[in-house]
Structure 1
């Protein structure tokens, strides 16, 4: 595969692993005193385990899995509200497939669909727009979920609906942003983090400068990385080099895809359609200031929260986690998936307690699929 195989070259990977080992030894990283590097993005977590990088890398490097899975950080109250909208008469509720099996307090969207709700998986908000065109007598609601990667496509769908006057289309907006939870984690005195691998796809939209506060305010290096094995290994080496030099800055390993200042078309669409929420609830992190987006009043006709009086429009909801579920601790790097007493026992992909086991970017799903933890748990 051109443009992929060269980033999976075993010779290059071995060279990077050797360079990482030499750098780790030089700065005194050991199994007992490791360098803690958080990969923010769940896609990076899956790549690390898919290619066995956690086993190949120097023993003095410990990967910490961050909150970069938008399905995983979704609080149960939001799932409950999705089900509530979907069960309303005359509604076609549309969502990305990742969200279908995430447990709510009462049921998941998959269970609601089995109970008769008209819930349809789509690949794009444009699919939901087409459903609205074909079903003028039905309310079509799109579950707007994701970080800055998916936020522009939802914004463009709202703009298109406004141009066409599709009054039966709306978005239940739960889009969130990456920098704010990282600031929250760095402000936690119990977190031991020495550097970050920054999210590639998010950065493709927002650029690299939204992370400037990490080295400036907290003195930690961050390297925006691609998703192939040599991308990740080179990014680790770049983080270690900054630590060895006693420096902290934002670097862009994924420059072949990520522009320094992001994608101006996407950023313009986002600015036109959304505004910051005062705060937004994150699973495992609680309410974080200015970390969520809501639809501007100009486009209130396409805002499902306003149309149905649900979500934050109805006031915050405090729904407790399922007893025994440790998603919050795993997602914030305080616990490895296999340290959760429910992993592979009370929580499996077939019968999940939490989102991390069913999301395609969930840390528990990565351990289950790639890390041999599945066999250990059975």
Structure 2
């Protein structure tokens, strides 16, 4: 396949859907006893609903939405720390746009900006570096947020700042990793998962072997997938065929982009700049061992946690979810967004209670935009 239109070819999609139906029937999956396939990536969740794949696949296949939105899994306490840091008069706080509207306990970054904090949306940490060069009298802080997809660009920016000696640049590091929360979900006795659709962009950086434990230790199939309709349908078919044949392997549907062993340049930058945290708090999952990254001591001058005494440098601080908010249960696939009592009433894109409604990869945002349902009652 060479062009984007080929990945959306209706005739090809019908053929794959028919193959999915045959495989589901062979397994004996029904609407009453469906196979639960978790798409780990929030980008996949949105693609599934954008193209109506949840309605097109066999009734014996049910998509379960996983914790693959890095903005969504960020605990409210970290948002509070971002706001407090941004409100310091000497700070220019920079962030990706996805994080601007995520509510903390007091306010969001967007609200803090409206009240006078110097908060600027950037498209890359390199934009933050340029701001540091142009504003030597100010402290420029970049909100380092995301899975392995965005981790290398932050690492390379820290390396560049160190080469230039930009002492007024630092990163508030909240980078997290994908395999560890998947293990936490698989260890949860209340979770029933039959297979996984693996994240495409993350895998472009780390390769496919970090998922080996899913097949080896938990005997669950996984297919790393791209983001077009046929990518996702083919990955579902690959998972179903593994189940039908009694196999559990890591397969790579997105081989045109994802190398088996990842991107060596990105992995080298990550290894140089970061080390594993002992644990990191995830919204809905709590503290997960070795699931977050922190900046190594040799780059401590560029670590906002150390420079300003925030985050884990000041000690962990847990904040409870707003009353009635079910973000944690939605984010871990235990309930659908429309099963949250606040969906569409107390929580909307204009008045969000949680990040899942405002992030571009949030499951609630996908249901709101594409799902058709507007309230839990409906």
> Same fold by TM (over 0.5)?
yes
TM-score normalised to the size of structure 1?
0.99
| 1: CA distance, partners of 2:94 / 2:359 | 17
- Give 1:3 shift: 2.5
The within-5 A match list for 1:211-222 is 211-222=211-222
Partner of 1:293: 293
Partner of 1:103: 103
Partner of 2:241: 241
| 2: CA distance, partners of 1:295 / 1:182 | 23
**Does the 8 Å CA contact 1:148/1:206 hold for their aligned counterparts?**
yes
**Does the 8 Å CA contact 1:148/1:177 hold for their aligned counterparts?**
yes
Secondary structure of 2:291's match?
A: coil
| 1: CA distance, partners of 2:134 / 2:92 | 12
Secondary structure of 1:212's match?
A: helix
Partner of 1:86: 86
- Give 1:97 shift: 0.2
Partner of 1:203: 203
CA distance 1:377–1:143, change in 2 (3 Å): farther
Partner of 1:274: 274
Q: Deviations over 1:275-312 (max 9, x none)?
A: 00000000000000000000000000000000000000
Secondary structure of 2:203's match?
A: helix
Structure 2 unpaired stretches of 5+: none
Partner of 2:374: 374
| 2: CA distance, partners of 1:335 / 1:156 | 38
Partner of 1:356: 356
- The answer to whether the aligner puts 1:11 opposite 2:11 as a matched pair is yes
- Give 1:374 shift: 2.7
Partner of 1:60: 60
| 2: CA distance, partners of 1:45 / 1:228 | 12
**Does the 8 Å CA contact 2:338/2:376 hold for their aligned counterparts?**
no
The within-5 A match list for 1:2-151 is 3-151=3-151
**Does the 8 Å CA contact 1:345/1:377 hold for their aligned counterparts?**
no
**Does the 8 Å CA contact 1:344/1:377 hold for their aligned counterparts?**
no
**Does the 8 Å CA contact 2:338/2:375 hold for their aligned counterparts?**
no
Secondary structure of 2:32's match?
A: coil
Partner of 1:170: 170
Q: Deviations over 1:76-121 (max 9, x none)?
A: 0000000010011210000000000000011100011011100000
**Does the 8 Å CA contact 1:16/1:234 hold for their aligned counterparts?**
yes
| 1: CA distance, partners of 2:293 / 2:236 | 31
Secondary structure of 2:196's match?
A: strand
Q: Deviations over 1:237-273 (max 9, x none)?
A: 0000000011101000000000000000000000000
- Give 1:318 shift: 1.2
| 2: CA distance, partners of 1:4 / 1:93 | 37
The within-5 A match list for 1:261-340 is 261-340=261-340
- Give 1:4 shift: 1.1
Partner of 1:183: 183
**Does the 8 Å CA contact 1:343/1:377 hold for their aligned counterparts?**
no
| 2: CA distance, partners of 1:136 / 1:5 | 48
| 1: CA distance, partners of 2:51 / 2:108 | 32
Partner of 1:341: 341
Secondary structure of 1:374's match?
A: coil
| 2: CA distance, partners of 1:70 / 1:148 | 10
* Number of matched pairs: 378
**Does the 8 Å CA contact 1:142/1:171 hold for their aligned counterparts?**
yes
| 2: CA distance, partners of 1:233 / 1:127 | 37
| 1: CA distance, partners of 2:299 / 2:82 | 20
| 2: CA distance, partners of 1:10 / 1:198 | 24
**Does the 8 Å CA contact 2:340/2:376 hold for their aligned counterparts?**
no
